[in-house]
Amino acid sequence: MNKVIFPYALLLMVVYGCNKIDDGTTGSVSSNTDGTTTNNFSKLYAKMYNIVSFDSSGTANVKIKTTDVPDHKSPFFPVGHAKYEVYNGDNPNFSTAINLMGTLSDPDLLTQNITFTIPRYPEVSSTHSSTTGGPIGIARNGVVFFNQYNGNGSALDALEINNADQYLGHPTPLAGNGGAQYHYHYEPKFLTSTYGNSAFMGFLLDGFPVYGPYENGTKITQSMLDSYNGHVSATEDYPNDKIYHYHVISSSSSVATSLTTAAPYINGGKYYGTKGTVN
The piece of 78-86, 102-110, 198-206, 226-234 that touches Zn ion (CB under 5 A) is 226-234
The piece of 6-14, 45-53, 230-238, 248-256 that touches Zn ion (CB under 5 A) is 230-238
Instruction: Supply angle C-alpha 104, 109, 115, rounded to 5.
Output: 125
- Cα–Cα distance, 193 to 145 (Å, whole number): 17
Helix (H, G, I), strand (E, B) or coil at 270: strand
Residue type for 262, please?
A
Smallest distance from Zn ion to CB 257, Å: 19
Interface with Zn ion, residue 187, by CB under 5 A = no
User: Which of 49, 67, 64 lies closest to 112, judged by CA?
Assistant: 67
Residue nearest to Zn ion (CB): 233
Choosing from 68, 165, 187, 215, the residue that interacts with Zn ion (CB under 5 A) is: 215
Strand intervals (E) in 196-273 = 200-204, 209-211, 214-215, 218-219, 230-233, 243-247
- Cα–Cα distance, 240 to 27 (Å, whole number): 9
Interface with Zn ion, residue 28, by CB under 5 A = no
Smallest distance from Zn ion to CB 18, Å: 26
Handedness of CA 39, 43, 48, 51 (dihedral sign): positive
Choosing from 181, 233, 250, 274, the residue that interacts with Zn ion (CB under 5 A) is: 233
The piece of 53-61, 66-74, 136-144, 231-239 that touches Zn ion (CB under 5 A) is 231-239
Interface with Zn ion, residue 68, by CB under 5 A = no
Residue type for 144, please?
V
Smallest distance from Zn ion to CB 85, Å: 19
Smallest distance from Zn ion to CB 50, Å: 20
Residue ranges that bind Zn ion, judged by CB under 5 A: 215, 233
